[in-house]
Each structure stands twice: as C-alpha cells, then as structure tokens.
Structure 1
Amino acid sequence: MSDQSMPEVNAEFGATPTITFHGPAPSGLRAVELVEGDGPVVRKGDTVTVNYHGVVWGSDQVFDSSFQRHQPASFGIGVGQVIRGWDQTVPGHNVGSRLVVSIPPEYGYGRQGMPQAGIGGDDTLVFVIDIISTR
C-alpha cells in the first residue's frame, strides 16, 4: 500500500528504520502497514513488545529509538499507558508487522509538546513500529 503523503521507510522488519520525508505532514492520525506479520493480532488491553524509532516530521534527529538502545519496549496498548496515537493504531495489527505512523499533536504530547525530547506543541511525530510479540 503506497501513500504519497507518508514518508518512505525501509520495509524490512527488524532493520533500523531509515525515514525519508516528502512534503508536509498529512492531517490527522495515519498508519501504513509496511510489512504484514503473520503472528497473533494485537488487541486493546494486551501487553505488546515492540521496537520503535521516533522522529519529528521532516527531521533526521531521532528523539527516541529502542532500535538504537537494542532494547525492545513492552507496555499495555489501548489502555492509556502510551500516547493516543499508539493506542489507536497498533491494535488490530499482527505480530511481525512493521508500521509507519504519523501522529499529530492532539494524538501525541498535545500543545505542551515534550521540550526535553525536542518535541514542540505543533510537531507531527513519526514512528516506525515493529511488533515483536503480544500477550
């Protein structure tokens, strides 16, 4: 599935993401499945384990990346433990999937942003998410 408004990302599960931007961020919350996994479906309320890579739209500066730490992250999904953009896009995808998600401020850190991570209140966030497991 090609989406002209979304950035180009390498579609290789487990590989450190490379993200190339073309033009302005799309409006609203957007998710594109780059690789469709064949594992169990993630459901709201599951504990999901992922690798992820986060940048501000148009930037090459990574603000958070479990790939760079070589340490996947686990958390409850769909239950308010992470930003709304994740809670609304990760459930419904299979283990083994690679997603690219564009998250506007209202689904991310809101108007206050997250200054310590270099995220402004108007910034759209982009995450590449590899779903490793769910339980």
Structure 2
Amino acid sequence: MKKYITSICLLVTCCIFNGCCKGPNKPTPKELQPTSTQPIAEGIKKMSRETFASGLIKEITTPGDESAARPAKGQRISVHYTGYLNENGVTGRKFDSSVDRGTPFVFEVGVGQVIRGWDEGLASMKKGEKARLLIPAELGYGARGAGAVIPPNANLIFDVELLEIL
C-alpha cells in the first residue's frame, strides 16, 4: 500500500512539474484574426481574393496599374514567378523560380503554352500586379505530374508578377 501511495504522489508531482515548465500558451489561429474589418495599420490593404469557376484562386498581393489593360489571348507577356507544391493548404517545397534565375519567363497567353491555371490567372492580371495563384491539380500537371519535380495530382502555388505585356 505504501508503494502504491508513493507511486501516485510521484505521478502527481511529475504532472504538476510538467505543467509549470511549459512555455507561454501560443494563441490559436482564431485569436490571431482581426476583430473588425478595419485595417490593422494605415497603409496595409486587405488582400483581394478571387475564386474562378474552374477552381483557380487568385490572391492579389500588390495591385497593378489600374489604367492598364489585361493581356488578350495570343499576346506575349513577361512574368516573374516562384512555384511551390501546395501541401494540404500550406506552401510546400519550392520547385522552380524565374526570380532565382534572374530571367523573366515570356509566353503567349491563352494558347496552351503553359498550364491552364497560368493561362487563366495571368489573363486576369494587369501590368505590375503581383498575385498568388492556388492551382488545383487539374489546372496544373494533373495525373501525369512533371517528372521528378512535381508529383502526379499535385496542387500548386505560384507567386507571379506580370512585368510586361509585349
């Protein structure tokens, strides 16, 4: 009986000690949300988010030139991009970046030279605009993937900037 009581006391002491050693509680994601729709600080703009019928999501991080036109089908554009795997809604491994190479990527919009998510997302942008494109697998590389870099059925994230409409 004495060993039983000693064991219980030791267990309770360990539990109390463990509770005292924990660091400060981290706020839950809900606690991190603003409590109103007012800007948190002057100069911080709410990020614009657009969901397309195809499932593509575009989050504008920097608005482009308001007076500029959007690229038309067949027009060549110059873009900078960084591509990531979308791992359960979290930005995963970076797999490619024109920014890292220091060379913009040039292609014709809407003619199938790039994945469908790019054609659709970049056609909706204006010169100077920066956005994050959340691309479902069916608008990316689908079931085939892209070699060893992008696995089959991978959802993708691209940070893109429309530099020029050529």
Which sits farther off after the overlay, 35-44 or 49-58? 35-44
Structure 2 counterpart of 1:37, one-letter code: G
**Structure 2: distance between partners of 1:29 and 1:52:** 17
Which sits farther off after the overlay, 54-63 or 94-103? 54-63
Counterpart in 2 of 1:62? 94
Q: Which runs of 5+ in 1 are unaligned?
A: 5-26
Which sits farther off after the overlay, 78-87 or 39-48? 39-48
Q: Which runs of 5+ in 2 are unaligned?
A: 1-45
Q: Secondary structure at the match of 1:82?
A: coil
- Aligned counterpart for 1:81 among listed residues 92, 109, 113: 113
Q: How many residues align?
A: 112
Q: Secondary structure at the match of 1:67?
A: helix
Please show how residues 8-47 of structure 1 align to structure 2 within 5 Å. 28-38=55-65, 39-47=68-76
* Higher helix fraction (1 or 2): 2
Q: Secondary structure at the match of 2:61?
A: strand
Normalising by structure 1, report the TM-score. 0.75
Tell me, yes or no, if structure 1 residue 124 matches structure 2 residue 155: yes
1:2 Cα deviation after fit? 4.0
Q: Alignment RMSD, CA only?
A: 2.0
Alignment deviations for residues 23-64 of structure 1 (CA, whole Å, 9 cap, x no partner) = xxxx92111111111144222211010000000013542111
Report runs of 4+ in structure 1 exceeding 3 Å deviation.
1-4
Which of structures 1 and 2 has the larger relative contact order (alpha carbons within 8 angstroms, sep 6+)?
Answer: 1
What is the percent sequence identity of the aligned residues?
34
Contact 2:70 2:125 in 1 (8 A): yes
**Structure 1: distance between partners of 2:129 and 2:47:** 16
